[in-house]
Structure 1
Amino acid sequence: MENFIDGVGTLISNMTHQKNMVNCMTSILSVATLPVRVMEDFQSTYGSGGQLQDIRSDAKKEYERYYSSEEELNEQLNTFANNCMFAYCGENTVQVQIDFPSDREYNDKVASEELPLAEEFQDHLKCFIDLSKTAPKERYAMAEKLIEQLHISSNNYRSTLVERIQQEKMDIKCLQLLRAMIHNEERKLPGNWEMYPKKNKKKIQHLKQVQMALADKGALLKILPLISRDSDDLIAEVLALLAAMLYGGNEHVQDCLMDFFIGSREEMLFSAFKSRMELSAVITTERRLLEAQHKAELQKAMEMEKALSRAVIDGKTAMAAVKRHGSTASMMSIMSARGRGRIKTGRKRGQSSKSRKSAAASRPEHGQSRPAWPTPPAAKTPQKGTGLI
């Protein structure tokens, strides 16, 4: 047992592992028949009376000490990079992002998947757009390269984890570029274009032609198989591109999608849709439960605050009543004391008047002499023969 403790203790460098070892060995030693000295040595070496010790090796301590300042510098560098990214992206407006005179936001606040806000993203997008052409089919002809890249990725799934991560990032970037081609044209429409469709007929027609041009190049048929992947971010981008393709109810895109469903015999796509819908239902239910729990906690906090405010108000009212009662009682005590003082004064005055009256009655009137004190009766002498001695 002692050899096991000494052998394991010198190899542990994680505080969690050390804590588990101390708990385990404490339980074993408490029921073992080993001498008490072993338990005391174990506690003094590894437990220190219940407090864990730092038994990391000197090399690891020196390594952490040497690179501690570098880790802090890396955190500051990451913060600086994030701040620079937000500052470089610019404002979330159509005017800033695509240089089109409009006061609309480039990314809607309610949108679940946002496009990158950066000048480099728009420059990257221009590499696949022929700005010298006006017809959508010719203008977006180079978008076929992105579609073919996604088609190759859907058929060739990488084997290693590093390759899959890199391929996923490239697929997401390609999907964002394809969606930005439609999104930029949609942002050029006024915000209330649905109320005035005739007034914006040319812009709406141009948007539909862009959607049709991408659909004819296989933007649906070659990309939809990606929805069977396990990555949530990739699936979200595929669905976002599908929603952009169907924006405004493009009938040509709907027909292409219907032909794909009827003629492909791909059951994997429907199973992927089913699994995503079930997962979304579970996530929605959990989100609703969390929102209900959050609302209940807020309601409870508000009720506690109201109860506290009522208690404070009641306390203030009670204190005011106590003060009023105390002042009233003190006034009544003062009045009762004054009343008792008046009664005593009246009694004294009555007694003094009676004494004065009796003294006046005992005094003789003017011209009369004071009567003499009565003389006591003379003592009788006993007669003879009466039997008295």
Structure 2
Amino acid sequence: MACFSFLRRRKRSVGGGVAPPSGSYDSARTGTSSITSGGSSAASGGRGKQHSAVSSTASQRSIPDLYEERAHKLRAFDFDELRNATNDFSRMNKIGEGGFGSVYKAFLRSPDGKGPRIPVAIKKLNQKGLQGHKQWLAEVQFLAVFEHPNLVKLLGFCAKDGERGIERLLVYEFMPNKSLEDHLFNKAYPPLPWSLRLQIALGVAEGLAYLHDGEVQVIYRDFKASNVLLDREFKAKLSDFGLAREGPTGGQTHVTTAVVGTYGYAAPDYIETGHLTIKSDVWSFGVVLYEVLTGRRSLERNRPMNEQKLLEWVKQFPVESRKFSMIIDPKLKGVFSPDAAREIAKLANRCLVKNPKERPSMGEVVEESSGDETLDKESSERNTVVIREEDSTAGLGTAAMVTQFLDIARG
């Protein structure tokens, strides 16, 4: 398996800050309600229990333990500072909205007041409902503990309780190229080139592997294209950790909790039993791989009945059959590596095996996808030509990045 083989991993560091928010992680990891069909998930319910079985690889250290050590990295923002930066949360500054609330673009100065202002994304949670606070708290604590090039960077938070209600805000690094969902499905964006799709797929695989195999095992639980954000160079970063959970500990194999997530991405074994494991994320990754290949959403109600569910539709075009190429996103206009496409489909199928124990781990996905083989020269040259034609619409930043990776592909 070497479908992402011409891409190479890079590292980066994270800066500092002060002051942890009040509250405990236990309250943040409360079990939640039901699958939602698109957008961000709502949540409610009681705390999930863990069922015992064979040994787990997760560390015995907990998120609260690590948070106490690392919370200093985050900055505690004043509410008035964030309100002023967004022009009182003006609709003109709004760049996104979901079940959690709204996201605004703003510019903030560094804590010492020196240097130019930097662009940030400010997430302002809805004031209604306790669950919003729980998801806010979970996100603060997870992103204070973990840092990785493929996780979005949380710069700080704001918590204000007053007569007009509670205010819960999160401040992130700004991601100028929005989400993978936007670039795959929104016709307002130019088609995402083949090699860039592979770069993004490998990036999110590395992010998930980091969460699954770290000092504390984390189950992301809501992996989907809309939660994959893209920076200026189209590096993929996982965002929205409000539904994330610690993995099983103490010799247990799964966490039992109420089922949440987004319909079309959640693993069937998790939906049926409430048993949550890292293999639940692996299933979701398989779904997104097929979205990357086909340019279709996991669920599209406006298509003919036999094409509405992506995973059912692709079964009509087996990987080894001549018909397989018919599933490839037509927006690519035939500019892709057929061999790599088949390898990605095979990988997706392994991730989508019904028995979760038979699915690969994300660590195995990354290891197998980072081999020594490269894309064939002809495919690379064809990609380069198309990218140059699209420079005027896709932007020089995109073209330069893709050309760089294609140069690596040629060896």
Larger RCO: Structure 1 or Structure 2 (Cα < 8 Å, ≥ 6 residues apart)?
A: 2
TM-score, with structure 1 as normaliser: 0.19
| Higher helix proportion (structure 1 or 2) | 1
Larger radius of gyration: 1
